[in-house]
């Protein structure tokens, strides 16, 4: 049986620019979905934030924020600053993107060891909402595709 599962994550950010690790919330949603094979989408519904996937190391977090601020410089004669003083944040969101995704396989997200999931805040502090969606098959349908995978692996072996 196919299932679609949603969970909203509320993140009250505390600074203008900030990285907030939401990995545990995403993982909890994947487990709670009881979906065994499918995919997980992490989507921020804002135009001045982004989603970033990388290692959670304190120095690197500062490097990422520094790079964002160098790259999308605040107050650099942007036209949008006349409307709302946050063109830099809109640019960061536009180019980096508000969405990341992972395969879900055997009930676990296919994240590498150093692939944590972060909300990049560029115009805080604000209350932010991230939609986590898990879409896929529950356990019992999986046997068929497991069989198909076994068949396919055998074919690959024969050809390689």
Residues 50-109 that bind a copy of itself (CB under 8 A): 52-55, 57-60, 62-64, 67, 72, 78-80, 82-83, 87, 90-91, 93-103, 105
The residue among 112 and 125 lying less far from a copy of itself, judged by its C-beta, is 112
The residue among 16 and 65 lying less far from a copy of itself, judged by its C-beta, is 65
Site for a copy of itself in 9-38 (CB under 8 A): 28, 32-34, 37-38
Minimum CB–partner distance for residue 126 and a copy of itself (Å): 12
How many other CB atoms are there within 10 angstroms of residue 137's CB atom?
A: 17
Minimum CB–partner distance for residue 16 and a copy of itself (Å): 18
Minimum CB–partner distance for residue 14 and a copy of itself (Å): 19
Site for a copy of itself in 106-135 (CB under 8 A): 110-112, 114-115, 131, 133, 135
Distances (CA, A) of 153 to 17, 109, 158, 160: 46, 22, 9, 11
Minimum CB–partner distance for residue 71 and a copy of itself (Å): 8
Q: How far apart are CA 54 and CA 115, in angstroms?
A: 5
* Cβ contacts of 136 within 8 Å, gap of 6 or more: 2, 3, 35, 36, 37, 38, 39, 104
The residue among 20 and 102 lying less far from a copy of itself, judged by its C-beta, is 102
Instruction: Write the burial class of residue 105 (CB in 10 Å: 0-12 exposed, 13-18 middle, 19+ buried).
Output: middle
The answer to whether residues 99 and 41 touch, using CB atoms and an 8 Å cutoff, is yes
Site for a copy of itself in 130-159 (CB under 8 A): 131, 133, 135-137, 141-142, 144-145, 148-149, 152, 155-156
DSSP annotation of 156 reads H
């Amino acid at each position: 049986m196919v299932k679609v599962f949603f969970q909203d994550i509320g993140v009250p950010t505390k600074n203008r620019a900030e990285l907030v690790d939401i990995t545990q919330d995403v993982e909890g949603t994947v487990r709670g979905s009881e979906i065994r094979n499918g995919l997980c989408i992490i989507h921020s519904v804002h135009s001045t934030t982004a989603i970033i996937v990388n290692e959670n190391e304190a120095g690197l977090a500062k490097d990422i924020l520094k790079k964002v601020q160098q790259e999308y410089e605040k107050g650099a004669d942007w036209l949008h600053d006349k409307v709302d003083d946050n063109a830099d944040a809109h640019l960061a969101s536009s180019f980096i993107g508000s969405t990341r995704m992972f395969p879900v396989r055997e009930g676990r997200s296919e994240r590498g060891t150093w692939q944590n999931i972060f909300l990049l805040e560029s115009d805080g502090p604000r209350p932010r909402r991230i939609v986590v969606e898990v879409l896929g098959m529950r356990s019992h349908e999986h046997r068929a595709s497991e069989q198909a995978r076994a068949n396919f692996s055998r074919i690959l072996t024969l050809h390689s």
